[in-house]
């Protein structure tokens, strides 16, 4: 199995227990959570980090800050299952990344970026759907019910197999998860098309 994807069954059984131990002051539990989710989060962060930030912001630093912030505010998180925790980490990372992008955008540009340089800043998901599509994707993702949103995130962004998603979300079967993801993506596509029409008509 790819080391960048957590083994779902052990994590599913242990994550909630580790979070509970962390809440009761067990720092070793926090260390174990960091080691467990670091590979997946690093892979996700690398795909999201714009090229212009790579000179000033290291992927490892971005992930470390994300994990520290998550653990510092762990009392606000309800550990339903592993998939929910990964979605929680993803949101913290994206929020931190947006803050860093704003900081860079406020600074004078050192060089003029041509079209070839701009294209290097796109994540794999941005390359697939474009910058405008990325904004619409995030908006549509936020409209999904939590279980659907977590399934889509695990499948499209963290690369989980359907079998892994079954374990991570405590779902009934691979077919059930496949249908959940398919329906969610179809719903998101509809919302994204509607958003595109609205923007085009504005």
Fold of domain 1-121: Rna Polymerase Sigma Factor; Chain: A (1.10.1740)
Query: Considering the entire predicted model, what is its pTM?
Result: 0.73
Q: Is the pLDDT of residue 8 over 90?
A: no
> For residues 115 and 130, which has the higher predicted lDDT (pLDDT)?
130
Residue 96 pLDDT: 87
> For residues 121 and 117, which has the higher predicted lDDT (pLDDT)?
121
Residue 189 pLDDT: 92
Fold of domain 123-202: Arc Repressor Mutant, subunit A (1.10.10)
- What whole-number distance in Å separates Cα of residue 149 and Cα of residue 139? 11
Query: Under 8 Å CB-to-CB from 144, ≥6 apart: which residues?
Result: 152, 184, 187, 188
Residue 178 pLDDT: 96
Q: Is the pLDDT of residue 176 over 80?
A: yes
DSSP-based three-state secondary structure for 171: coil
- What whole-number distance in Å separates Cα of residue 65 and Cα of residue 21? 21
Q: Is 64 left (phi over 0), alpha (psi -120 to 50) or beta?
A: alpha
Reading the block at residue 70, the tokens are 């998550």
Contact 22, 29 (CB under 8 A): yes
- Surface-to-core class of residue 69, CB atoms within 10 Å of its CB (0-12 exposed, 13-18 middle, 19+ buried): middle
Q: Is the pLDDT of residue 7 over 90?
A: no
Reading the block at residue 186, the tokens are 């179809």
Give the pLDDT band (50/70/90) at residue 152.
very high
81 Cα distance to chain centroid = 15
Angle subtended by helix axes 82-106 and 59-72, to nearest 10: 120
Q: Is the pLDDT of residue 9 over 70?
A: no
State mean pLDDT over 155-165. Answer: 91
Query: Under 8 Å CB-to-CB from 161, ≥6 apart: which residues?
Result: none
Contact 90, 44 (CB under 8 A): yes
**Domain 1-121 identical in fold to domain 123-202:** no
* pLDDT tens-digit map of 67-87: 988 988 888 887 778 888 889
130 Cα distance to chain centroid = 18
Q: Is the pLDDT of residue 43 over 70?
A: yes
Of 143, 41, 33, 126, whose CA–CA distance to 89 is shortest?
41
Residue 102 pLDDT: 80
Reading the block at residue 54, the tokens are 């790579």
State mean pLDDT over 34-45. Answer: 87
How do the domains of the chain map onto residue ranges? Answer: 1-121, 123-202
- What whole-number distance in Å separates Cα of residue 71 and Cα of residue 177? 29
């Amino acid at each position: 199995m790819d080391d960048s994807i957590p083994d779902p069954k052990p994590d599913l059984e242990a994550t909630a227990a580790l979070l509970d131990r962390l809440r009761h002051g067990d720092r070793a539990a926090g260390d174990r959570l960091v080691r467990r989710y670091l590979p997946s989060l690093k892979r996700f962060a690398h795909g999201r980090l714009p090229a212009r930030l790579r000179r000033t912001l290291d992927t490892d630093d971005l992930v470390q800050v994300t994990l520290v912030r998550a653990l510092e505010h762990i009392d606000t998180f309800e550990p339903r299952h592993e998939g929910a925790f990964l979605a929680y980490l993803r949101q913290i990372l994206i929020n931190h990344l947006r803050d860093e992008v704003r900081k860079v955008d406020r600074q004078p540009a050192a060089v003029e970026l041509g079209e070839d340089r701009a294209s290097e800043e796109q994540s794999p998901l941005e390359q697939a759907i474009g910058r405008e599509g990325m904004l619409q994707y995030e908006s549509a993702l936020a409209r999904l019910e939590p279980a659907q949103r977590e399934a889509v995130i695990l499948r499209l962004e963290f690369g989980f197999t359907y079998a892994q998603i079954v374990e991570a979300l405590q779902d009934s079967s691979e077919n059930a998860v496949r249908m959940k993801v398919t329906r969610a993506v179809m719903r998101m596509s509809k919302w994204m098309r509607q958003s595109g029409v609205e923007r085009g008509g504005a």
